[in-house]
Amino acid sequence: MSHAEPSDSHRHQHHAEPEGEAAAMAELLDLDAEVLHSYLSGVTAWIRELAADQPGRRILDLGCGTGTGAFALLECFGDAEVTALDLSAALLHRLRDRARELGLADRVRAVQADLDAAWPEVGPVDLVWASASLHHLADPDRALARAFAVLRAGGLLAVIEMDSFPRFLPDDVGVGRPGLEARGHAALAAWQTQELPHLGSDWGPRLAGAGFIIEAERPFVIELTPPLPAAGRYARASLRRMRSGLDGHLSADDLSTLDTLIDSDGPDGVLRRDDISVRTTRTAWVARRP
């Protein structure tokens, strides 16, 4: 899982980044899974129910990041093995380390791959998982066709996408002018429309166009209220990614306030505030290869 921010400028499978940027992305992905663990457990359990009497034994994770989705799936599918694809060597290294820590190294195969280029040999598989990754691709329809090709007959594809960046702050935040976060989102949306045209797509018709039969579509509305363990760190990591693309798009006062929220260890910083919430929606489509 990832966020669609300007600094995430290539795709969720993560382009080769400087070491510091890769570490920041890894922290963000891991915090996302930690804070949203109930959602992640819920969506993977729901997929397991839809699999019914055909439990997935071979799973393919497209744009795996640090492997948070892969590890959640392995909890649901007790006998499964995962092939995890991502372009970032640094994130795959983190995934392998985590797999060893969890005693899952023999059930996870991490492979560096560009999902917009030729895929490595991975099929046939029982389940394909694509969480917040397809909208980053140059040609997601080609990726869906490839996913169809590697799935066995009756296998499932789970696509999870977000509509926008998560929100964390109260509406009254802003120097002399409330609504700082809303203004940041509006600026970000303008960038996303140009650079990420597939964000917010209705993936149902695209799945049907690739030959899949839609089994279910379900929105997961996430509204977590304080106190929330790790929410401050999650908000800081997320807002830091968001902030990197907002120069020239917000006022000097807004940018200064945002910098204080991100960088301050005092009461005005997100690490110390007691009013940080998490509000976002993620939609899941589950489709079957006939």
- Three-state secondary structure readout of the chain: CCCCCCCCCCCCCCCCCCHHHHHHHHHHHHHHHHHCHHHHHHHHHHHHHHHCCCCCCEEEEECCCCCHHHHHHHHHCCCCEEEEEECCHHHHHHHHHHHHHCCCHHHEEEEECCCCCCCCCCCCEEEEEEECCHHHCCCHHHHHHHHHHHEEEEEEEEEEEECCCCECCCCCCCCCCCCHHHHHHHHHHHHHHHHCCCCCCCHHHHHHHCCCEEEEEEEEEEEECCCCCCHHHHHHHHHHHHHCCCCCCCCHHHHHHHHHHHHCCCCCCCCCCCCCCEEEEEEEEEEECC
pLDDT on residue 4? 42
Q: How confident is the model at residue 11 (pLDDT cuts 50, 70, 90)?
A: very low
**Strand partners of residue 167:** 279
- Tell which wins on pLDDT, 282 or 192: 282
pLDDT on residue 28? 95
Cα separation, 247 vs 167, in Å, equals: 19
Phi, psi values for residue 16, rounded to 5°: -65, 115
Question: Domains in the chain, ordered, with CATH?
Answer: 19-165+198-224+279-288 (3.40.50.150)
Cα separation, 250 vs 187, in Å, equals: 8
Cα separation, 183 vs 249, in Å, equals: 9
Residue 182 has pLDDT above 70, yes or no: yes
Q: How confident is the model at residue 17 (pLDDT cuts 50, 70, 90)?
A: low
Angle (nearest 5°) at CA 5 between 239 and 172: 40
pLDDT on residue 18? 57
CB-based contacts of 21, cutoff 8 Å, min separation 6 = 7
Cα separation, 66 vs 108, in Å, equals: 12
Chain-centroid distance of CA 218 in Å reads 16
Residue 212 has pLDDT above 80, yes or no: yes
Q: How far is CA 115 from CA 40, 87, 108, 180, 238, in A?
A: 23, 8, 18, 36, 24
Cα separation, 18 vs 20, in Å, equals: 6
How do residues 224-278 score in pLDDT, each as one tens digit?
Answer: 999 999 999 999 999 999 998 899 899 999 999 999 999 999 999 999 999 999 9
